[in-house]
Homo-oligomer: A and B are copies of this chain.
Amino acid sequence: MGKNKKIRLVCLGGIGEIGKNCNVIEYGDSAVLIDCGLSFPDAHMLGVDLVIPDFTYLLRNRRKLKAVILTHGHEDHIGALPYLLQDMVPPAIYGTTLTLGLVRSKLSEFALPDVEIPFHEIEAGDRIDIDNKLQVDTYHVAHSIPDGLALAIHTPGGTLLHSGDFKLDRSPIDHLPTDLKGIEAICKERDILALMIDTTNIERPGWTGSEAEVGPALAEHFATHKGRIFVTTFASNIHRIQQVVDLAEEFGRRVFLAGRTMLKNVEMARSQGYLRVPENILVHPDELNRFPPQKLAVLATGSQGEPMAALSQISRDEHRFVSIREDDLVIFSASPIPGNETYIYTVINDLFRLGAEVIYGLEAGVHVSGHGSREEIKMLFEAVKPRYVVPVHSQFRHQMLFRKLVEDWEHKPQDVIIMGVGDVLAMDKNEYELRERVKAGEVFIDGLSVGSVSSRILNERTMLAEDGLVLYTLLLDETGDHILDGPIVKSRGFLPERQNPELYKEMREVLTESLFHNRLRGHAHQSQLRNNLANALQRFIFRKLGLNPTIIGTVLHLHPEKLAEKAQGGGGA
């Protein structure tokens, strides 16, 4: 069977990792991109603000790309789209009202090509006719943001089912559970060649709690607490926000929104009808002191301890409008994303220190995950009965665990396909192939520049961060025999001269001596000399202090002709 009759799944992100979901599904010369998300940097990506997928494959195949479909509005599914749009505008971008609302609100911050962006608003249940090769059916899924989609992507080579980020919550706040019936119907109508399934929570046995369980847990605090109540959650968790607003209304509290994204998202979700906010329940900053503590609730960003978020500012008593008081209660209605624990605990400790009571942790019952647990994953998997299954939205360990469980569920583990970023899966109903690879990976955003931060730059930053920097400057005469000025030694992130004058004197001596030896040995070449001096200084510092700072040397040679020429005005500043 020819390769061109196979469906191809090209992973540009989000498989074998959690973050920057970005996958191409192709048949022949037609391709659709599912999601275009970003990741947040790891601790070792020093100075990096955001991570986006490498778009090389998309740019090289821009003629193939017929459409982008966004499953929901979380950053790891839409956040990289503005960067893609800077390079290319695909023929069509599909998403539900909330999802596209969030995309549009991001785009306002970007300089984009002066063309119309071809957004198409859809709703769950719609069929998208991309072209004669690709048609997509959409199904509602419950998640920690409203208006999420699962997709059935039909091609002449078979149908792929993409679960989106889902849970099988049977009592979501918007009364819209995952459309398992719709998915079952399409799976009866057509055999599903492959299922791409969200396996984020495969490590958790049983079922994820329902969003409806959170309300009563929060209500208990609203019913009994005498002071102000702060709730922090993701600003995109519209249902959680709805529950807090509803409780505030029920218990006669006004609501203050703290954090730019919280304000923006509430406004947008409200105007689009995803959020019901009673008239006059929201409080302006200058009204804050007009209401007694028992009449106020605060919805704040910062559930992950992000240093610049509203709650973190409040915890350092640096917020413009809000200061913690003795009778304040702060509820963390979110769980830590691995890696954020120390930030979150710092905020919690600081809030306690300011006198607040803080509710946090799984026990507290004030949070449920947006992703289905093991039994939900199993249930969807068994409803779909796919030929192949590709675990997505999970790291390698989750994928391996999923493969192992599939065996327990009496299916063949060899039909579980473990992919990673850059992998290309080609398949038809007889066989699959995972041989081809494409250019893919991480592109770092630092400041305004896309992709200018390479791993080499990160390595240099890591070295600078480790032991700091020592730099020296030397001015030599044209023969290199005499020092005309210097050695000047400066440092950053290293023992300062003011407190260690003796050390700096010794460093200058080491450089002068090393220069003398090099002259004797006739090392005339300038870069060689610079390296030799740097090495001598490095050895000295390591022996004396056990430190390995980055060393940068500048050696200037003065040429009298140049001097004479410049002094005549030729080299004026």
Q: Which residues of A contact B (CB under 8 A)?
A: 42-43, 46-47, 203, 205, 338-339, 341-342, 345, 348-349, 352-353, 357-358, 361, 363, 395-397, 400, 446-449, 452, 456-458, 460-469, 471, 473, 475-477, 481-486, 488, 490, 492-496, 500, 512, 515-516, 519, 542, 544-548, 550, 552, 554, 556, 558, 562-563, 566-567, 569, 571-573
Contact = CB atoms under 8 A, between A and B. Distances in A.
A546 B465 contact: no
A547 B449 contact: yes
Contact of A545 (B47, B448, B477, B516): B448
A352 B447 CA distance: 35
Given A47-B466, A397-B348, A554 B449 contact: no
A206 to B, nearest CB: 11
Contact of A342 (B338, B473, B492, B552): B338
B43 A492 contact: no
B464 A469 contact: yes
A47 B566 contact: no
A490 B556 CA distance: 14
A202 to B, nearest CB: 12
Contact of A339 (B342, B349, B484, B548): B342
A371 to B, nearest CB: 17
A353 B490 contact: no
Contacts of A448: 544-547
A400 B352 contact: yes
A15 to B, nearest CB: 13
Given A571-B482, A571-B484, A572-B481, A446 B397 contact: no
Contact of A552 (B458, B492, B494, B566): B492
A484 B562 contact: yes
A554 B490 contact: yes
A353 B566 contact: no
Contacts of A46: 465-466, 493
A516 B465 CA distance: 35
Nearest to A339: B342
Given A396-B353, A547-B449, A554-B473, A338 B341 contact: yes
Tell me which of A458, A516, A554 has the highest count of chain B C-beta atoms within 10 A of its own C-beta: A554
Contact of A205 (B352, B363, B456, B573): B363
A342 B43 contact: yes
Nearest to A468: B461
Tell me which of A43, A448, A482, A512 has the highest count of chain B C-beta atoms within 10 A of its own C-beta: A482
Given A461-B493, A469-B464, A566 B397 contact: no
A484 B446 CA distance: 35
A348 B395 CA distance: 10
B573 A482 contact: yes
Contact of A457 (B361, B462, B496): B496
25 contacts: A43-B342, A203-B361, A339-B342, A349-B396, A352-B400, A357-B400, A446-B546, A448-B546, A452-B545, A457-B494, A457-B496, A460-B492, A460-B494, A464-B469, A464-B493, A473-B473, A473-B556, A475-B556, A477-B563, A477-B567, A482-B566, A483-B566, A488-B556, A492-B550, A516-B573
